[in-house]
Every structure is written in structure tokens, then in C-alpha cells.
Structure 1
Amino acid sequence: NLAVDSQGEIYSGKEVDKKRVKFDKLKSALQKKDSKSAKRHLKKLSGKEARFRKDVNHCISKKIVAKAQRHSLGVALEKLTGIRERTRLRKAQRRQHYSWAFNQLQQFIVYKAKLAGVIVSFVNPKNTSRTCPNCGFVSKHNRKTQSSFVCKSCNFAELADKVGAINISRLATVNLPIVGSSRDLQTTRSLA
């Protein structure tokens, strides 16, 4: 998942992964050839891949901001400083994780939110994936797998990404009413 909001809407990365695998195979084949033509094609391909990432980030950010504006909500995002260093990944996940432009997605959300008059807040993500939104119990054992969350204290179960988004929502400083609304804050958790 590239992003998940606190209402549980998932902005999936399945199409992105398919496209990334296709780009990787093509790049690998071209790099083996080592000709001028192959190098030219590689350069073109690099630009195409960057434009694809940018387009996907624009589409996701547009949906997130439109949803927040439609429901008179703010948007809370996790601070991404050091995300690559603080996450531990299996070898198979590294390429996928390191190649996505998390910061670009956040920048697009911020500038579109500003244009739409939607408040944006940044939250320290520490323990947001380990804290139970139901009882508040914090443990690394609450997350047995990358995608599932089961609280060891109260047995609350949910998708791990949604739990993170809910906790980020609660930590946000923008839980203030927007235009007289007393609704909760929509949060978006940027993911690999």
C-alpha cells in the first residue's frame, strides 16, 4: 500500500508494483547489452519511470485532499525523516521500498491541501504501528506480520496500516474543527 487513511481507504500500490517489475526487467536487459542504443533507451526509460511515479503520486494526493475537503477534515501525515533508516526490510522488499518517492507524495498532498484550504499536520510516527487504538497497549508483538495487527492485551485486530493511520490521527494537532465541523481528522499514512 502506498497510503492508507484513518477511515480505512487503501491507496494500493499493486499497479505500481507491476509497472516497476516491468521497468526493472527492461532496464536489466538493456544494461546487459551495453551499446549506445541501449544507453539511449535506458535514459528514455528512466524519464518514463519518473513520470509514472509522479503521475501516481499526483493522483493519490488529489484523492486524499478531495476527500478531506469534501468531509471538512484536515490531513495528518507522518514525518518521513529517516524512514529508510528506521525501517527493517527483507531483501525482496528493499527495491520496492527504496524506489518510491514518499517525500514527493507528501509534498503533493501539502501543496494541494494548501490550495484547497485543508489543514495539514505532521506527526512523529514513533510507536504508531505498535499502539492499540482500542486500549492503548504498546508492544512490538502486536504486529506479527507486516500487514496484520493483533493487540496482545485486548485482542483488537485490524490491518496494520489502518491502525497506524488511526494512531496518527489521534496524535495530530489539527483535530480542531474546520469551518465549524466537529468531525475527526482524516489521516494518511504514506507507505512503501
Structure 2
Amino acid sequence: MMRLVVQVKLLPTPEQAAALEATLRAVNAAACHVSAQAYDQQTFRNYDLRKHTYTQIKDEYGLAAQAAQHVIKKVADAYATLHANLRAGNLGQEGSPRRTRATSKPITFRPDAAQPYDDRCLSWQINVRTVSIWTVAGRVRNMAFTASPDQIAMLSAHRKGESDLLLRDGMWFLIATCDLPDRPVTVPDGFLGVDLGIVNIATTSTGSRHCGKGLNAVRHRRRELRRRLQAKQTKSAKRLLKKRRRAEARFAANTNHVIAKQIMTEAERTGNGIALEDLQGIRDRVRLRKPQRVTLHSWSFHQLGSFLAYKAARAGIAVIHVDPAYTSQQCSSCGHVDRNNRLDQASFSCTSCGFAEHADVNAARNIAARGVAGWAVSHAA
């Protein structure tokens, strides 16, 4: 089963919006209270927290039974995520400032943080584009929402489970979970290697390069504007920074969607699977000059990989992750590995056989070859 989310925009009246805002403030104040109790007592399991806090938050914050249950579960999930990050070392070593900040106080929740709803608290009337939702002011019925035809079709056919109520920049959204049945993976004829990089976000083994100089110019221009606004430290500059932060996130996500769709189309047309680099820990491994570090850390390669993965799963296309070590130094023609093979960022010339190619295309071909080998090993009879 593949799980996707659909985001729809709510269109509440002023009275309905006030009820939603009061609800978020109440549930998040209750969540902060439960979190403080969990931290003080070092009790983080959902069932144990429910015994200590359920009745109290229902009475003090005016929550319905299901809303109180979701508040407690939200807190338990937040601590489960924190502890998983601690075990994985994502917050640094023992005694590091970042780890100390994360563990020295209870988790807190913003007054407008998202709140999960299940079908007892939220019902959908998809055919008339309305929802009925619980609030601290009572049940609010006939609240309108808007969505694209594709989103409506997805909700009608596959919506299941919880939905999150979200307030973002003064706008209200519901993020609904949809469970899609798995599609059988087609045995690939070969693999399309994808090299992820700084100058070109993605390069395929067939020679297609996605978003190079033009995109980097936009990113540089926005980064310089952000730097100047941050230096001003005025209220208006901070407001503009907040506004631009959303716009830049949308720009990056849209670019990643476009690149993923183009790569998917190429893989479907050729009957190939997709071979990607396993970039786990790339930011800790690579050694780059300062301007390149800024570019590397400001782009979500993980997001691009996740977009490719879910689009491929919906289309039944095989995806495999391979070790990226030395793919930029290895000759895709003879296999010779040498640092001197890489003349500069864009040029590759093998010192053994003389093979020459664009450096990113050569790396993508190595990734494709490793994808074929990895698939053969993992699917051996």
C-alpha cells in the first residue's frame, strides 16, 4: 500500500475561522501541558500519558474525547521522533550544544501547530466540497473547501485515516491521507542512471541535463536578496523574509516535481528502471569550497529523490539506490578509476583509454551500470 497526501484549501467564514483558530490554540496549549508532564515524569508512551493527563486536559481545555486522545498521541509521537533522532545521532554527540538544547527542556508546540483529526471529528462531503469539523465552539458544518479535479478524484477514491488541520500564512488547509494500492513493479530492460549535482541538479545516463545555469542564477539572486534582508534586521525586512521563505520552498518543490516528472517520462518511454545515488550523509561526506557548500545545503536533493520514488511506485517502475563512491572518477567505458580522469567540473577524460564525456553524464552511466548489477544481485533466482 502506498500512502500519499492531498492538500485542500478551506474557505471558512470569519466566524468559522475564529472557531478554528481557538481550537488550534486550545489543543496546542493542552499539548504543551502534556509534554511538560511527560518530561517531568519521563513517561513518553501514549497509554501511560493517557492515564496521567486525559481527564485533566479534557476538563481544563474544553476538548472532546477524540481531540484529547489526538493531543496525547501527538505528544507521544513527537517524543518518539526526538528519541529516534537521538539514537541515530542526528542531533550530534553526547554533550554537544544541539543535543543538549533538544534534551534539556520539554518539547513545545506553537499555538498554530497542525492538529490531526480522524473521521469521528471530521467528515467530508466531497460531492458538495464541504466538511464538518469539530471545534471548541462546537461542530462547524458546511465549511467550504476548494481542490483541483485530480485532488477530488483522489479523495473520493482513496482517502483513508487521519487528516491534519493546518494554518499557514493566514490560510487554512486540510492535509488528507490517501492509501493507494501497490502497483506491480515491471521488470526493467535496463536502468536510467541519475547523477545529482550542484551545477546540474540531475543528469541522466542518456545525456539529459536538468536545470543548470538558469536555475543557479535564480538561486544566487534569491540568496543575495535574502542575505541583504537578514542584514537589515527591521520588522519589514523580517516580514518580507517570512513571505519569501514560502515562495522559495514552493519554487524548489515545483522544480523538483518538474525534474522528477521528466526523468519518469524518460524511464517509461525506454522501459528502464531508475538508479539513484544513495546520498545518506552526503552533507557530512563531501568536501567543497564555500560557495559550493552554500549551493549544496540550499537544495533539497532528498525531496527530489522522494518525488522520484513515489512517482515511480505509482507507475510500477523499479527504483534502486547504489553506492555513489568514485562514480565521478571512474571511466564508464573501461572502468579505470583515477582522480586525474576528472579534468574539471564538466569535463571527463580517461587517462587509461582516452574516453571523453561530460563529467555528469559519465557519472550517471556508472550509476546506471551499478543499478543493473544491484538489481541482478537482489533479484537473482
1:47 equivalent among 230, 246, 257: 246
Structure 1 distance, partners of 2:366, 2:266, is: 19
In the alignment, what sits opposite 1:163?
Answer: 362
1:124 equivalent among 301, 308, 323: 323
In the alignment, what sits opposite 1:139?
Answer: 338
Is structure 2 residue 285 aligned with structure 1 residue 86? yes
Q: Spell out the pairing of 1:49-128 with structure 2 (5 A cutoff).
A: 49-128=248-327
Alpha-carbon contact 1:76-1:174 (below 8 Å) kept: no
Which of 30-39 and 167-176 deviates more?
167-176
TM-score, with length taken from structure 1:
0.87
* Structure with more strand by fraction: 2
**Which amino acid is the alignment partner of residue 79 of structure 1?**
D
Structure 2 distance, partners of 1:22, 1:92, is: 14
Structure 1 distance, partners of 2:286, 2:232, is: 35
Is structure 2 residue 230 aligned with structure 1 residue 22? no
In the alignment, what sits opposite 1:3?
Answer: 202
Which of 36-45 and 79-88 deviates more?
79-88
**How many equivalent pairs are there?**
176
Alpha-carbon contact 1:74-1:120 (below 8 Å) kept: yes
Larger Rg, first or second structure (1 or 2):
2
Q: Deviation at 1:92?
A: 2.1
Q: Deviation at 1:52?
A: 0.4
Which of 28-37 and 76-85 deviates more?
28-37
In the alignment, what sits opposite 1:184?
Answer: none
In the alignment, what sits opposite 1:154?
Answer: 353
In the alignment, what sits opposite 2:375?
Answer: 174
Structure 2 distance, partners of 1:170, 1:28, is: 42
Q: Deviation at 1:147?
A: 1.6
Q: Could you list the structure 1 runs, at least 4 aligned residues long, displaced by more than 3 angstroms after superposition.
A: none
**Which amino acid is the alignment partner of residue 217 of structure 2?**
K
Structure 1 distance, partners of 2:346, 2:284, is: 20
Note the aligned Cα RMSD (angstroms). 1.5
Structure 1 distance, partners of 2:223, 2:370, is: 38
**Higher RCO (Cα < 8 Å, 6 or more apart):** 1
SS of the residue 1:100 aligns to = coil
SS of the residue 1:4 aligns to = strand
Q: Deviation at 1:148?
A: 1.2
SS of the residue 2:224 aligns to = helix
Point out where structure 1 has 5 or more consecutive residues left out of the alignment.
177-192
Structure 2 distance, partners of 1:140, 1:32, is: 41
Q: Deviation at 1:175?
A: 6.4
1:31 equivalent among 225, 230, 250: 230
SS of the residue 1:174 aligns to = helix
Structure 2 distance, partners of 1:174, 1:111, is: 19
Alpha-carbon contact 1:143-1:149 (below 8 Å) kept: yes
